[in-house]
Structure 1
């Protein structure tokens, strides 16, 4: 009968130690982490839907980005909203007559705005003789000094078009602009804004870009990638007047803002998910109120002297953007902070970003092999990610070594592993490491049951400490990438988080080492050893 060898489970555990002095042992896993991060940022959205990590991380970071944005340039921009009440008071239905738009433009021009943008596409050739009245009003407003911009639809050739009476004076009395909008394909939130689009060599400027070029006098080079939107954080004192359909819970104290659909920010608590925010504020389920001043169309015809002063403060010398907020319309966008709001606020926020950042506005380059300066910057971000992953790798290995030293049994029968994983120490139910420690303790200290409890507590605390340290340095790495990506490379935080999240995840869960071992067994054998 063959004698059974007395082997410890330590010997069967997959121990991995990078051979010092070999650059491949450091660079190859780090490069693989970044490549896995880029691949995951492309592939995972199509597989996992809206609940994958990068977008959830971006949602958590959005309030901080908005808080850093501060006031932006909102003192130069206001919105005018056409809602159902405005149509009813003007004895109109949808679509209203062209004379309604003429009266609205004339009423706004009374306050001497710097520019007026109408975010309603007027292409339908319906039988309305008041179209000429609208054309004449637009030309008069433009001649009086206010630049006028009209939303237009795009033809298959890429040009912008309106109904013939307006098209005749386009470029003379007003400027036609593109209002194309594409929400995120996965979570349907508005992360980006298309500044310009080119079809068959014809470039169509967006409303925000056209107004910025003309009003600021600083024309931007035709953008090749969308803008990454930074949404505003501090609500306007005169925003949307929507009423919340949510009633207060039974026994709740009266709240003067209970009827409002939105709320003010909760400070640092905005970084928490809404479920946790509700522990401190019962209105946490509501979105933030809009960022820009809002005047309703019916205010212009029903203003008291006090209202008139407020309207004048909101419209005079400002860029006024007119949009709709009707019950039955699809002209809405979904902001990560403000939820579902009229589409005109997207144009206002995009223009606000341009006026604030100028040519340093945040870009949203796609993970595609395109040769332009913005994609070169994204490549630079990838190199910075590589450095961060290498640094994190060294830190992680140091923490693993410290943890092994602290939790190893006093006199292990064999040498302990060079490192362990979170799953080995976090749950303490199925891991071989925990079972080995418990067996050693039962053998060496059977009479002292309290020592077993103390030892278990000791191991748990050290494991939690190691996990906390790794999490802390992960946050530091992501913060560093955000700082470099946003403020030095002008890349939007969503693109930065997409790469950073998955690159660090590849290092955390060692997808990189597993992939290298599978693809290059000889490299795995040369860089891993048993104690």
Structure 2
């Protein structure tokens, strides 16, 4: 009787076993809820987690692949329209400076030489991603002949807009004005002052003709955790200029009070956004009462004529060359810093392999056609070049195809400079390619800020954003429910398999050790497989979020938190504690 009574009391005090379906339902729902809650709390307390950045890197190749596919469909429908949206990058490399016996920063005659090619093959527009900080060097009124770089052809007869007696500065000015006189807009990279105006240098800003050129902002801040270029600024409001101002007092002393795009009710625009509005008449409206950033999707496809960098002799190269297997073998030029292919699926696999483990592959080559200034013919005639060009030089037909009717961005291409950005696909590349990628994103039929803005999770958000987050949360719940159910089924099958082998229960018997080893292997395998499945599901959710115009870092952060909760099974333990139950 006493034993029976104790058993009854014991059963009354024991935790009841939860129903299978409702236990799984509550566990999956708790994983999603905890993921959203932690995504709100962690950024404000601990900063962005590396888990979210890792998820975003895994999704970046797929986002680039889908971006390219959508563009291909648009190009097929409107072939002529998309020709004008093509971007060519003209990079100033160390080789051309050496050939011209120029230092850095280069002098005005060097830029006059570059602009000569653009005047010969008129582009749709020009952006000079170099802050021209040098002074005139001499007064324009003096007829003294300036020192010309050796890459300039002294035998060329002066055209209608230039004389050999002009100063270096006037030579450059004439080259710019010749472009603008033919309706070709020219954009100059500029610095922001404490008054939130954009300036280049006193000579350019005080010149009556050149002061009307559009100055554009090039300030950019990489992500604080992985330093990758995930976002791009659109406008620079005045109320944030003081905290971000890093320019010297010498530059701010010559600030012009009036600059294009900084009138009342307006504010400085970034390079890509200004080009999108002024050249392509973009309808995207961005208020200037706060800083606005866009999410950047880096295209996956590689250019046939891209950045001609050689592989650096660094630690990563040594690690990669001693690593097997590699997925980027078989390229025509194994000495290139990057890998390229005409097969986008192959590029997708290589980019994904590198995101998983860097030594598996080199970064992808750049997406935009790149012309190195060192490959321009040193002496430019009025007509076609006489004779065959050198092997390293481009012919007039090639230059015409690269420049004419396309938007040209001029930047630097020095392997070791401060004008470099980190792309999730191309790794370290010149900063001018970030402006190209941002403009490319804006040209993809975006007419609403909600389509491109890189916003963060906040309790005070528009209803539309809450609806998107909750909808993604509902879809995420279904996915977690399925994953949790499969994990439970697999564990149940293994438990039955283990229970049937009664000879495994005798302690310290050889069979007991075998059972322990099999159980440990099963748990490790289940942990690894479940992580892979959760990460794959997370990548799919990021791509779905991108289709709903939810910034990928927002989705990645929620998923990173939710996956951590589910993978470590915190949700199961917490749900059991809340309901005072245990899973069957």
Is the 2:65–2:348 Cα contact (8 Å) retained in structure 1? Answer: no
- Give the deviation of 1:359 after TM superposition: 2.5
- Give the deviation of 1:170 after TM superposition: 7.1
Does 2:118 align with 1:116? Answer: no
- The corresponding residue for 1:226 is 293
- The corresponding residue for 2:232 is 193
- Give the deviation of 1:82 after TM superposition: 0.9
Structure 1 residues 27, 133: CA separation in 2 closer, same or farther (over 3 Å shift)? same
- The corresponding residue for 1:399 is 486
The counterpart of 1:365, out of the listed 455, 476, 481, is 455
- The corresponding residue for 2:200 is 162
The counterpart of 1:269, out of the listed 324, 342, 349, is 349
- Corresponding residue pairs, total: 480
Does 2:542 align with 1:482? Answer: yes
Does 2:224 align with 1:136? Answer: no
- The corresponding residue for 1:528 is 581
Which runs of 5 or more structure 1 residues have no equivalent in the other structure? 411-433
How far, CA to CA, are the matches of 1:458 and 1:104 in structure 2? 69
Structure 1 residues 367, 441: CA separation in 2 closer, same or farther (over 3 Å shift)? same
- The corresponding residue for 1:235 is 302
| 1:378-527 equivalences in 2 (<5 Å) | 378-399=465-486, 401-403=488-490, 405-408=492-495, 441-442=503-504, 468=529, 472=533, 475-476=536-537, 478-479=539-540, 481-488=541-548, 490-512=549-571, 524-525=578-579
How far, CA to CA, are the matches of 2:572 and 2:108 in structure 1? 66
- Give the deviation of 1:227 after TM superposition: 1.3
- Give the deviation of 1:176 after TM superposition: 0.8
| 1:28-67 equivalences in 2 (<5 Å) | 30-40=32-42, 43=45, 45=47, 52-67=50-65
Give secondary structure in 2 for the equivalent of 1:356: coil
- CA shift digits 1:179-206 (9 cap, x unpaired): 1111111111111111212114651111
Structure 1 residues 509, 99: CA separation in 2 closer, same or farther (over 3 Å shift)? same
Is the 1:236–1:291 Cα contact (8 Å) retained in structure 2? Answer: yes
Structure 1 residues 290, 254: CA separation in 2 closer, same or farther (over 3 Å shift)? closer
- CA shift digits 1:245-265 (9 cap, x unpaired): 458969x99974022222115
- The corresponding residue for 1:289 is 365
- The corresponding residue for 2:162 is none
How far, CA to CA, are the matches of 2:209 and 2:17 in structure 1? 72
How far, CA to CA, are the matches of 1:409 and 1:219 in structure 2? 63
Compute the TM-score of the two structures, normalised by the length of structure 2. Answer: 0.70
The counterpart of 1:209, out of the listed 261, 267, 273, is 273
How far, CA to CA, are the matches of 2:455 and 2:522 in structure 1? 43
**Deviates most, 500-509 or 210-219:** 500-509
Does 2:410 align with 1:346? Answer: no
Is the 2:234–2:293 Cα contact (8 Å) retained in structure 1? Answer: yes
Is the 2:236–2:268 Cα contact (8 Å) retained in structure 1? Answer: yes
How far, CA to CA, are the matches of 2:556 and 2:478 in structure 1? 18
Give secondary structure in 1 for the equivalent of 2:339: coil
- The corresponding residue for 1:426 is none
How far, CA to CA, are the matches of 1:443 and 1:529 in structure 2? 24
- The corresponding residue for 1:70 is 68
- Give the deviation of 1:154 after TM superposition: 0.5
- The corresponding residue for 2:399 is 311
How far, CA to CA, are the matches of 1:446 and 1:95 in structure 2? 76
Is the 2:59–2:543 Cα contact (8 Å) retained in structure 1? Answer: no
- Give the deviation of 1:516 after TM superposition: 7.4
- Give the deviation of 1:380 after TM superposition: 3.2
- Give the deviation of 1:114 after TM superposition: 0.7
Structure 1 residues 85, 275: CA separation in 2 closer, same or farther (over 3 Å shift)? same
How far, CA to CA, are the matches of 1:439 and 1:31 in structure 2? 40
Structure 1 residues 275, 321: CA separation in 2 closer, same or farther (over 3 Å shift)? closer
Structure 1 residues 344, 25: CA separation in 2 closer, same or farther (over 3 Å shift)? closer
How far, CA to CA, are the matches of 2:437 and 2:185 in structure 1? 19
- Give the deviation of 1:135 after TM superposition: 2.7
How far, CA to CA, are the matches of 2:570 and 2:516 in structure 1? 32
How far, CA to CA, are the matches of 2:294 and 2:356 in structure 1? 31
Structure 1 residues 516, 31: CA separation in 2 closer, same or farther (over 3 Å shift)? same
- The corresponding residue for 2:111 is 101
How far, CA to CA, are the matches of 2:331 and 2:467 in structure 1? 50
How far, CA to CA, are the matches of 2:491 and 2:86 in structure 1? 59
- CA shift digits 1:438-492 (9 cap, x unpaired): 9954469999x8899699869976995798578547634651x33442112x123
How far, CA to CA, are the matches of 2:557 and 2:582 in structure 1? 34
Structure 1 residues 339, 29: CA separation in 2 closer, same or farther (over 3 Å shift)? closer
- Give the deviation of 1:214 after TM superposition: 1.7
- Give the deviation of 1:244 after TM superposition: 2.0
- Give the deviation of 1:28 after TM superposition: 6.1
- Give the deviation of 1:105 after TM superposition: 1.6
- Give the deviation of 1:495 after TM superposition: 2.8
How far, CA to CA, are the matches of 2:177 and 2:404 in structure 1? 19
Give secondary structure in 2 for the equivalent of 1:341: strand
- The corresponding residue for 1:417 is none
- Give the deviation of 1:323 after TM superposition: 0.4
- The corresponding residue for 1:300 is 376
- Give the deviation of 1:347 after TM superposition: 0.7
How far, CA to CA, are the matches of 2:495 and 2:225 in structure 1? 46
How far, CA to CA, are the matches of 1:225 and 1:485 in structure 2? 20
Give secondary structure in 2 for the equivalent of 1:358: coil
How far, CA to CA, are the matches of 2:119 and 2:552 in structure 1? 38
- Give the deviation of 1:338 after TM superposition: 1.0
